[in-house]
Structure 1
Amino acid sequence: MATLLETCRIPPPSGGAAELSVPLTFFDIRWLHFQPIYRLIFYDYHRSKEYFIETIVPKLKESLSLTLKHYLPLAGNLVYPLNINDDEKPVFRYVAGDSISLTIAESSNDFDGLVGNHARDADQFYDFVPELPPVKLDESNYQTVPVIALRITLFPGRGICIGYAYHHSIGDASSIVGFIRAWALITKSGGDDDLILTKQLGDSSLPILDRSVIKDPLGIDTIFWKVMKQIPLKSWSFPLPTNRVRATFNLHQADIKKLKDLVLDKKPGLVQVSSFVVTVSYVWTCFVKSGDAVGDKVDDDVLEFFGFQVDARSRIDPPVPANYFGNCLSYGMAKIEHQRLVGDEGFVIAAEAIAEDIKNRVNNKDRVLKGAENWMSDIMKYVGIRALGVAGSPKFDLASADFGWGRAKKLEVVSIDGEKYAMSLCKSTDSEGGLEVGLSLPKERMEAFAAIFAEGLRFY
């Protein structure tokens, strides 16, 4: 159970820009009606509650304000026009006086239980996630909504959790992880010197907000907006009760090598047999088999889909700077008949399908955005399909965000509790070279998945 200690608003430091308006590209517009992203970062922390309140909280507030100087759109709002007969598009707008919501809380929950890998009641994690403020309708026929909210929870004598919720249209994982890492660095270093930030953050250095780096000669933003403007923004609430449990599964470096060797033994000419490919392929096959194990009746020829988002910054021509702040995502997809996926060769078949899509489309600058103008209409084709998605990427090492308490103990992507099934993926927090997979499933199915996952690694 969590106890609220303080709710406040943190503005950027005074003396900065009085106003900033940032348009949405087609990469952003496609996420306008997507559910918020909820993430939690758990850290070991053994100091007293008094020290936390008197020293840590003021430091976090000050550093957050300094960080927002570089990330002004996060302190502002998404402004969404409601006149569907007008061509005006939404924007992210910051004006002096805008601020970000920050909640400070204390919890008596079992910290060690929360950061464990075993199956845990998914509902309890919502105590540590901030809710985005509701959508508001102003007098001039616009809807406005803050794009991010933060919550810091102390587990006295044991740990700290930093939770954040954000509107996906404001930025992808690369952008938001860059913000969190910058906040952590400023907190730890005690300043926001541009040179220090750039040197320490590398590719995640000071963000570029210039939308002109996204080329859109086909006017895809207008095509997408014609679809989106028919739908008012809605306020989201937590999906409680979830009727699910959360669990974490680790693939150690030796496990990943074994899976790669198995694929290459069966398919020696296959390229792009990466750690990502074998990990998600193995999880996908175990996931589908777990459905069968709990009595999910599926015809043999029904298609199973696996979808994943792809950072397109370096994959498009011309490339987009790595520190561009916003969305710049394409996607990959594999589809396989149910019978083949649950068969003895299912894992290898899955790895081949995903590796081929990465090789032939995702990593092909001529094809990664081919047909992007049809993405919105294509979505309707996939309504109701049997699918597993993936949230997060080991490429963006969120656990390395060090506020002065060391590397994170555990990461949780709470938003995979949504209606559609998804796995989270990140670098292992306790195994060098390994990967960590998070799942949220009904209890019976989680038990079946865990058994199939463990048995498969022994068999392979």
Structure 2
Amino acid sequence: MASNNSVKIQEVTKVTPSFHLTTDFSLPLTFFDIFWFRFPPVERLYFYQINNLTPHFFNSIILPKLKQSLSPFFNRNLLRPQETPKLAIHYFQNDGVSLTVAESNADFNYLSGNGAREAAEFHSFIPQLSVSDDKAALDVFAKRRSGFQLCPSHFELSREDIKKLRVKVQEVKKSEQLHLSTFVLTYAYAIVCITKSKREEEGNTNTKLIFGFTADYRTRLEPPIPGNYFGNCVGPHAAIAEVKDIKKEDGVSFVAEKLSELIKELEKGSVLGGTGEKLAELIKMMKQWVRAIVVAGPPMFEVYGSDFGWDRPKKVEIVSTGKTGSISMAESRDGSGGVEVGVALEKQEMEIFASLFVDGLKHV
């Protein structure tokens, strides 16, 4: 479905660094960078509601501050490689960050709401990455779900809901010491609801599901990395389970246990042990189009704390979940200790998911 939103470009500018460099720099990609090279980027939209906003105030106050905030973007400690690698992040003199200012006739309240909305309505607000023969952003998974009419929507687990889920899992897994954090419980509950909402396609022989998360390695490597390290320092940790086990009555406890095991492996140290074999198996499963539900944004990012002087955002939407089948997670906007879950599903699946998500909490 095509978007009815009209977007009029007002200005396209390049914001250059506030400092001056006399030479070019190259930053070689590390092991942590290269793994993510073929994955589509996370596309996150922030919706800010500014009352009594006028063109004069926007152009004289807001826009200059935005440009100023981007000017130190490259003001980092970059390491210059001794030899030019094949894959590297390059900085060239007079390089900068592209900033596009546009005006839209879209319904702000509709786009920033919690209810199901057409995914296509958000596409015109996502900037396109420039692609050329020598500079490209590769995406091998983005077309997996093309051809379907997707609806993104947001659901919330309150602090009390999470407490009830924790008690429920502890009752099922009485003798086991599990890592039942807010993240684990929310993720497990979302996985079960999504899996149960999916239609079983005729002839589909895939009976497994991949789920997992990216872990922060900055404090887990030996020797520790320097404080001025620039680049990715996260790695994927995933579990593979039978769909039939996830759909059982104790599915949330089952998934929570799997996630707990992944986290306990991190706490043991040696996060890179067996990484090659694990990644090879994960990539093999993805190539076989085994369904995956991963997290595009965990609650610890505190996206609703992004206050640029306009108060908290009214809504934060990760549009790319519709391409990858991932879910988003964010802290509750009101700071009550709950978690906001964002999903993008086909219309019929969304209706089933919404029913499962709401009704399931009544019986916890």
Q: TM-score, normalised by structure 1?
A: 0.70
Change (3 A) 1:118 1:234: closer
What's 1:57 paired with? 63
What's 1:20 paired with? 25
State the AA in 1 paired with 2:8. T
Deviation at 1:403, TM superposition (A): 1.1
Match of 2:291 among 386, 389, 392: 386
| Equivalent pair of 1:72/1:94 in contact (CA under 8 Å) | no
Percent identity between the aligned chains?
A: 36
* CA–CA distance in structure 2, aligned partners of residues 296 and 286 of structure 1: 18
| Equivalent pair of 1:131/1:237 in contact (CA under 8 Å) | no
State the AA in 2 paired with 1:399. Y
What's 1:273 paired with? 180
What's 1:454 paired with? 358
What's 1:144 paired with? 135
Q: Secondary structure at the match of 1:144?
A: coil
What's 1:114 paired with? 111
Deviation at 1:300, TM superposition (A): 11
The aligned runs of 1:202-281 (5 Å cut-off) are 243-268=149-174, 269-281=176-188
Which fold has the larger relative contact order, with Cα–Cα distance below 8 Å and residues 6 or more apart in sequence? 2
Stretches of structure 1 lacking an aligned partner (at least 5 in a row): 74-86, 138-142, 146-166, 168-232
State the AA in 2 paired with 1:52. F
1:347 and 2:338 aligned: no
Change (3 A) 1:376 1:277: closer
State the AA in 1 paired with 2:42. I
Task: Give RMSD over aligned pairs.
Answer: 2.8
| Equivalent pair of 2:25/2:90 in contact (CA under 8 Å) | yes
The aligned runs of 1:29-428 (5 Å cut-off) are 29-46=34-51, 47-70=53-76, 88-134=85-131, 136-137=132-133, 143-145=134-136, 243-268=149-174, 269-291=176-198, 294=199, 296=201, 302-320=207-225, 324-359=229-264, 361-366=265-270, 368-374=271-277, 376-378=279-281, 379-383=283-287, 384-418=289-323, 420-428=324-332
Change (3 A) 1:287 1:21: same
Deviation at 1:395, TM superposition (A): 1.6
Q: Secondary structure at the match of 1:44?
A: coil
Name the stretch that deviates more: 440-449 or 429-438: 429-438
Change (3 A) 1:98 1:309: same
* CA–CA distance in structure 2, aligned partners of residues 62 and 317 of structure 1: 38
* CA–CA distance in structure 2, aligned partners of residues 451 and 431 of structure 1: 25
| Equivalent pair of 1:393/1:426 in contact (CA under 8 Å) | yes
Deviation at 1:374, TM superposition (A): 3.4
Q: TM-score, normalised by structure 2?
A: 0.88
Q: Secondary structure at the match of 2:301?
A: coil
Match of 2:342 among 430, 433, 438: 438
Stretches of structure 2 lacking an aligned partner (at least 5 in a row): none
* CA–CA distance in structure 1, aligned partners of residues 111 and 227 of structure 2: 33
Deviation at 1:322, TM superposition (A): 6.7
What's 1:210 paired with? none
Deviation at 1:17, TM superposition (A): 5.7
Change (3 A) 1:276 1:56: same
State the AA in 2 paired with 1:110. D
Q: How many residues are paired up?
A: 351
State the AA in 2 paired with 1:113. Y
What's 1:217 paired with? none
